[in-house]
Amino acid sequence: MFQDKNLECRDCHSSFVFTVGEQEFYSEKGFTNEPQRCKVCRDSRKNSLRGERELHSTQCASCGANAKVPFKPSNDRPVYCSDCFARMKDN
């Protein structure tokens, strides 16, 4: 039913492939329009619209190392550095 399609990015004008898998995904989600931008331009546009994330400095509740987190820490819950958080998640 679906076939790979070559499309042209509206931003950088490069050619990109709208794959069968992507077309099936679009169909399942009810999207009727084909993508207008290549993956690089879509990601770039998404990041520019989102803006910079503010990082907050805190101390890891497990190892005591300095950590930067994308949320404002409160005193009612422990905050962990990425290494300790990953270890806890694995266990």
CA–CA gap between residue 87 and residue 30 (Å, rounded): 39
CA–CA gap between residue 39 and residue 45 (Å, rounded): 10
Helix intervals (H) in 1-91: 20-29, 39-50, 82-90
Cβ pair 61, 47 in contact under 8 A:
no
The mean pLDDT value of the chain amounts to 91
pTM: 0.54
Give the angle subtended at the CA of 9 by the CAs of 2 and 27, to the nearest 5°: 30
Q: Could you tell me the pLDDT band of residue 90, with boundaries at 50, 70 and 90?
A: confident
Name the range with the highest mean pLDDT among 17-31, 51-65, 75-89: 17-31
Whether 35 has a pLDDT exceeding 90, the answer reads yes
How is residue 35 annotated by DSSP?
Answer: P
Average pLDDT over residues 32-42: 95
Main-chain dihedrals φ then ψ at residue 54, nearest 5 degrees:
-85, 130
pLDDT digits 0-9 by tens, 48-78 = 877 677 899 999 999 999 999 988 998 889 9
